[in-house]
Amino acid sequence: MIANDTVTLATADDTREFGVRLASVLQPGDLVVLTGPLGAGKTTLVQGIGAGLGVRGAVVSPTFVIARVHRGQLPLVHVDAYRLRSLVEVDDLDLDVDAADAVTVVEWGSGLVEQLRDARLEITIERAADSDERRVSLTAHGGDWAQRLTALRSASGALSPEW
């Protein structure tokens, strides 16, 4: 089942706030795949997710690290797959956490990490040409993601007119 939602976020703080709200529907074992050009706001969104999950340590761009594990009640695995060429390399990261116990969020993961799980949430971020506005599309793939997006939407109230 595929469900689609779009939200418009005017500022970086709005994007972080949206990440906090998104975190409220995340569960252990989740895979979230982020797509969007450099500077789109992928890491900014992960900062909000990390805040919402209550993880320790600042979420920063992991470009030169590939992956970071942030400990918390629900750990966050933040991966930047930009330099990875295959799923094997993602599997080989040998992170010090069981992915089934954590939320895994992968920047640049599209076309690479889908096979890791039966279900995933895909998020695509587009930038406006003439403002800070970001258009964020959420697509549920499998599992109960569609229901969770519905729950998120009803909890988000007047976040944006489109939402």
**Shortest separation between residue 35's beta carbon and Mg ion, angstroms:** 11
DSSP state of 103: E
Residue number with the shortest CB distance to Mg ion? 43
CA distance 98 to 84: 20
Q: Which range in 9-17, 20-28, 85-93, 151-159 contacts ligand ADP by CB under 6 A?
A: 9-17
Residues facing residue 127 across a β-bridge:
134
If one asks whether residue 43 binds ligand ADP (CB under 6 A), the answer comes out as: yes
Q: How far is CA 34 from CA 45, 142, 157, in A?
A: 9, 16, 24
If one asks whether residue 65 binds ligand ADP (CB under 6 A), the answer comes out as: no
If one asks whether residue 143 binds ligand ADP (CB under 6 A), the answer comes out as: no
If one asks whether residue 42 binds Mg ion (CB under 5 A), the answer comes out as: yes
| 37: CB partners within 8 A, 6+ apart | 127
- Closest by CA to 61, choosing from 100, 97, 105, is 105
Residues at the contact surface with Mg ion, assessed by CB under 5 A? 42-43, 61, 107
Q: Which residues bind ligand ADP (CB under 6 A)?
A: 9-12, 14-15, 36, 38-44, 61, 107, 132, 134
